[in-house]
């Protein structure tokens, strides 16, 4: 994850005209953090390492470790400066685990799915005390369905898992011997699942914490090793890499459990887990897979360094190694360098992200004026208001980002806009016309980001006109 440290400089131009419009220049010193899980040959966490034990490279160039954190068994060493070791282990909210359990209903039999959910419930009862995780639950069938927003309520978690067990969804067979036409159809179906999972990763884009997707699936994509059609094989590879890049842009680890017990049915699952810093657990002993997930996501080193380039929206490769010893390392192999404003856009484009985005620092209210009817639809003026005292100003000038995202009843994002507004002392009042189908329900989400204070406020409302 990138954690910008922001400095402000007030620049007053020499001319009288420009002096009336002072500019606020933000100087951001960005630190990229890479979580590294280190295990020995027995799969046990390696403890006691210091910054001097690690080397980190970005795009092949060595980087200087400027921040170093040790997280061991749900605890973390708070603000350990690079070069120091032996500091006391303290709780740090930045490393709180935020886990989305995704159940791929297409690729598993109901029996294996329900058996895996039973093991998950046992794990939650036995290991989860309410303070180590925020859990959320979703299902993949025709798209991404969020069944439970982030919570630490055990009862709510069990109720959501029970809803999945009671559901009846079709099973999509990805057998390895269909004819050529069927292959393309199955790759297309697999792409639908990948798109739904990618939407889930984007939901985490602007949130902090240790972000994990615990994916229960029998198979995501066809095995490209046995595909003679080179175009088809390339499509499978590009689809896999697309999901990896989306996950790494949001700093999300994939821990993948295959309850079917097939160890080598889908190499894509291995690479998706490995290159996002997670792990593929293919055995049908789900309880052992959950134990590995718990250990791996709660024992790691977080290495921070300052990239030598600005936010350029490009993908940058990361390589980490331990100087001595023979250890296995799990870490994301790259990231996309995006500014915070774009990360918020990615989050608000996901129906799940609207539950994750941190916001309440700024109170935001929305109200609707009388709609105008247009050919089976309505155009509704929507007024967004923020009290002036909640915004930051420099020389009576401020600047805010306004994000508006609209979702239909199925959770599909039907409209999104990002507006930039200069503001002066006085309430912020912004009117935007939104186009809605008459009689259909929508969820409208509005987020405000103060560019000076970087505070964020979010509100949402269900509407039908």
DSSP of 300-330, one letter per residue? EEEEEE--SS-----EEEEEEEESSS--EEE
Same domain, 165 and 56: no
Same domain, 132 and 245: yes
Q: How far apart are CA 375 and CA 348, in angstroms?
A: 29
Helix H, strand E, coil C: the string for 32-70 is EEEEEEEECCCCCECCCCCHHHEEEEECCEEECEEEEEE
Kindly state the percentage of the chain with pLDDT values over 70.
80
Same domain, 152 and 217: yes
Residue 226: DSSP 8-state:
G
Kindly state the percentage of the chain with pLDDT values over 90.
45
If one compares 232 and 331, the residue with the highest pLDDT of the two is: 331
Please count the other Cβ atoms lying within 10 Å of the Cβ belonging to residue 182.
Answer: 12
The arithmetic mean of pLDDT across residues 319-337, rounded, is 94
Does residue 341 form part of some domain? no
Does residue 314 form part of some domain? yes
Q: What is the mean pLDDT of the chain?
A: 82
Q: CA-based Rg of the chain, rounded to a whole angstrom?
A: 24
Q: What is the pLDDT of residue 227?
A: 67
8 A C-beta contact, residue 76 and residue 90: yes
Q: What is the pLDDT of residue 323?
A: 95
User: pLDDT at residue 365 above 50?
Assistant: yes
Does residue 353 form part of some domain? no
Q: What is the pLDDT of residue 61?
A: 96
Same domain, 370 and 399: yes
Which CATH number does the domain housing residue 418 bear?
2.60.40.10
Secondary structure class of 462 (helix, strand, coil): strand
The confidence band for 384, taking pLDDT boundaries of 50, 70 and 90, is very high
Q: Which residues of 258-298 form beta strands (DSSP E)?
A: 279-281
Same domain, 205 and 76: no
Same domain, 72 and 123: no
Q: What is the pLDDT of residue 69?
A: 92
If one compares 41 and 361, the residue with the highest pLDDT of the two is: 41
Please count the other Cβ atoms lying within 10 Å of the Cβ belonging to residue 95.
Answer: 22
The arithmetic mean of pLDDT across residues 401-415, rounded, is 92
Same domain, 210 and 154: yes
The confidence band for 338, taking pLDDT boundaries of 50, 70 and 90, is confident
Q: What is the pLDDT of residue 366?
A: 96
Q: What is the pLDDT of residue 19?
A: 38
> With 0-12 CB in 10 A as exposed, 13-18 as middle and 19+ as buried, what is 315?
middle
Q: What is the pLDDT of residue 401?
A: 95
Same domain, 149 and 276: yes
Q: What is the pLDDT of residues 110-144, one digit of tens each?
A: 888 888 899 998 888 877 665 567 889 988 876 78
The arithmetic mean of pLDDT across residues 283-300, rounded, is 89
| Region label for 85, one of left (φ > 0), alpha (ψ between -120 and 50) or beta (otherwise) | beta
Same domain, 131 and 203: yes
Does residue 203 form part of some domain? yes
Domain that holds residue 108: 94-298
Total number of domains constituting the chain: 3
Does residue 103 form part of some domain? yes
Last residue of a domain, one of 298, 323, 344: 298
Instruction: Give whole-number Cα distances, 427 to 36, 388, 395, 423, in Å.
Output: 46, 4, 16, 9
User: pLDDT at residue 13 above 60?
Assistant: no
The confidence band for 284, taking pLDDT boundaries of 50, 70 and 90, is confident
8 A C-beta contact, residue 452 and residue 24: yes
Same domain, 196 and 73: no
Range with lowest mean pLDDT among 295-304, 353-362, 444-453: 353-362
Q: What is the pLDDT of residue 40?
A: 94
Please count the other Cβ atoms lying within 10 Å of the Cβ belonging to residue 198.
Answer: 22
Which CATH number does the domain housing residue 273 bear?
3.40.50.410
**β-bridge partners, 377:** 374, 437
Does residue 347 form part of some domain? no
Same domain, 119 and 217: yes
CA 283 to chain centroid: 26
Q: Which residue has the tokens 């409302």?
A: 461
User: pLDDT at residue 436 above 60?
Assistant: yes
Q: Which residue has the tokens 């991404």?
A: 144
Same domain, 60 and 42: yes
Does residue 4 form part of some domain? no
Does residue 99 form part of some domain? yes
Pseudo-torsion of CA 152, 153, 157, 163, nearest 10°? Answer: -140
- Closest by Cα among 105, 168, 169, 170 to 137: 105
The arithmetic mean of pLDDT across residues 69-78, rounded, is 68
């Amino acid at each position: 994850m990138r954690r910008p440290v922001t400095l402000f400089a007030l620049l007053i131009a020499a001319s009288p005209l420009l002096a009336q419009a002072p500019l606020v220049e933000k100087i951001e010193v960005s630190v990229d953090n890479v979580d590294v899980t280190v295990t020995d040959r027995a799969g046990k966490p390696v403890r006691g390492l210091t910054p001097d034990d690690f080397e980190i490279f970005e795009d092949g160039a060595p980087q200087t470790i400027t921040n170093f954190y040790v997280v061991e068994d749900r605890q973390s060493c708070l603000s350990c400066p690079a070069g120091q070791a032996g500091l006391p282990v303290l709780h740090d909210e930045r490393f709180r685990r935020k886990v989305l359990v995704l159940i791929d209903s297409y690729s598993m039999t109901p029996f294996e799915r329900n058996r895996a959910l039973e093991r998950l419930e046992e794990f939650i009862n036995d290991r989860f005390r309410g303070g180590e995780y925020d859990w959320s639950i979703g299902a993949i069938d025709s798209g991404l369905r969020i069944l439970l927003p982030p919570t630490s309520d055990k009862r709510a978690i069990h109720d959501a898992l029970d809803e999945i067990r009671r559901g009846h969804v079709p099973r999509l067979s990805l057998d390895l011997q269909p004819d050529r036409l069927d292959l393309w159809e199955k790759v297309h179906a697999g792409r639908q699942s990948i798109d739904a999972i990618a939407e889930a990763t984007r939901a985490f884009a602007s949130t902090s914490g240790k972000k994990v997707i615990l994916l229960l699936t029998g198979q995501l994509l066809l095995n490209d090793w046995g595909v003679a059609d080179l175009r088809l094989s390339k499509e499978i590879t590009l689809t896999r890499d697309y999901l990896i890049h989306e996950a790494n842009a949001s700093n999300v680890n994939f821990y993948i459990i295959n309850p079917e017990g097939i160890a080598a049915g889908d190499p894509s699952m291995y690479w998706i887990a490995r290159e996002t810093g997670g792990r593929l657990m293919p055995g049908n002993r789900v309880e052992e897979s959950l134990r590995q997930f718990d250990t791996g996501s709660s024992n790691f080193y977080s290495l921070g360094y300052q990239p030598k380039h600005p936010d350029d929206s490009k993908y940058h490769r990361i390589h980490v190694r331990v100087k001595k010893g023979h250890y296995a390392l799990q870490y994301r192999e790259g990231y996309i360098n995006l500014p915070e404003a774009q990360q918020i856009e990615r989050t608000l484009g996901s129906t799940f992200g609207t539950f994750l985005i941190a916001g309440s620092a700024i109170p935001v209210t929305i109200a609707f004026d009388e709609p105008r009817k247009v050919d089976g639809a309505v155009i509704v003026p929507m007024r967004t208001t923020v009290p002036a005292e909640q915004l930051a100003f420099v020389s009576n000038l401020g600047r805010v980002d306004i994000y508006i995202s609209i979702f239909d009843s199925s959770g599909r994002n039907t409209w999104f806009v990002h507006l930039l507004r200069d503001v002066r002392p006085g309430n912020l009042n912004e009117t935007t016309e939104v186009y809605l189908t008459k009689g259909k329900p929508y969820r409208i989400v509005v987020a405000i980001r103060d560019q000076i204070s970087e505070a964020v406020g979010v509100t949402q409302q269900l509407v039908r006109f």
